[in-house]
Amino acid sequence: MANYLDTDGLTYVWSKIKGMFAPKASPEFTGTPIAPTPATSDDSNKIATTAYVKNVVEGIDGATYSLTQSQSDGHILRFTGSDGTDTEITIPDNDTTYSNATASADGLMSSSDFSKLAGFSDASNYALKSEITGVYKYKGSVADYEHLPSSGQTSGDVYDVQDTGMNYAWNGTAWDALGMSITITSISNATIDTICV
């Protein structure tokens, strides 16, 4: 089956594309655009200005690192910035064992992934490739509908009827129309220019 984009479809696509762009709060981005500078502790999705980056780098300057080991917690990596801020990362000292995942508990995979896989049934419930490819079988072409075979065909036999371009499949008792040739014309550049304004 062929898909095509008509004028209404292109108009809809263009409106979707324009809707994806952020509203133009500033009229243009030329020269040196500026934005508010977040605090160095800010971990949101705000824009990082050059001042923010400079402040963060200065906080790292002169930092110290230490690695300690605890009997109960394992290895602890401690980072202390020049501003006195401490950050710790604990690495467990014991082996980690994962259980099998269930629909309500994480394991070797997340519970949500487990639920997705659990939606599949036994392989015997799905069609084999040979069964799928055998659904329709092209048998040839005939001049018109009246020349379609009246005997000897099996379900899934398909013929092309040349005078209409229609395809017919034998459903076991009669010929069933599947589709026909269509002519698709492209949208002109002039039409696109008219829509995309």
- 5-38 pLDDT per residue, tens: 788 888 888 888 887 776 666 666 677 878 888 8
- Same domain for 132 and 89: no
In whole angstroms, give the CA distance from residue 79 to residue 63: 7
Q: Do 41 and 85 sit in the same domain of this protein?
A: yes
Domain boundary at 77, 93, 109, which? 93
Give the pLDDT of residue 1: 44
Q: Is residue 80 part of a domain?
A: yes
> What range defines the domain where residue 67 resides?
37-93
pLDDT of residue 101: 82
Element (H, E) at 179: strand 175-179
Q: Which carries the bigger pLDDT value, residue 93 or residue 124?
A: 124
Contact in structure between 52 and 37 (CB atoms under 8 Å): yes
Quick one: pLDDT at residue 114?
81
Report how far residue 173's alpha carbon sits from residue 87's, in angstroms, rounded to the nearest whole number. 76
pLDDT confidence bin for 146, thresholds 50/70/90: very high
In the sheet that holds 137-142, the strands lie side by side as: 137-142, 157-161, 166-170, 175-179
Assigned domain for 158 exists = yes
Can you give the pLDDT at residue 158? 93
165 found inside a domain: yes
pLDDT value at residue 93: 64
- How much is the mean pLDDT over the chain? 78
Q: Which two tokens stand for residue 104?
A: 């309500």
Q: In sequence order, which residues have a C-beta less than 8 Å from that of residue 66 and are 6 or more positions away? A: 77, 78, 80
Higher pLDDT, 104 or 93: 104
- Confirm whether 16 is domain-assigned: no
Comparison of pLDDT for 27 and 137, the residue scoring more: 137
Domain assignment of residue 83, yes or no = yes
Integer Cα distance of 102 and 85 in angstroms: 40
- Could you read off the pLDDT of 97-134 as tens digits, one per residue? 777 888 888 887 888 888 887 777 677 777 776 666 65
Q: Which pLDDT score is estimated for 174?
A: 92
Query: Domain total for the chain?
Result: 2
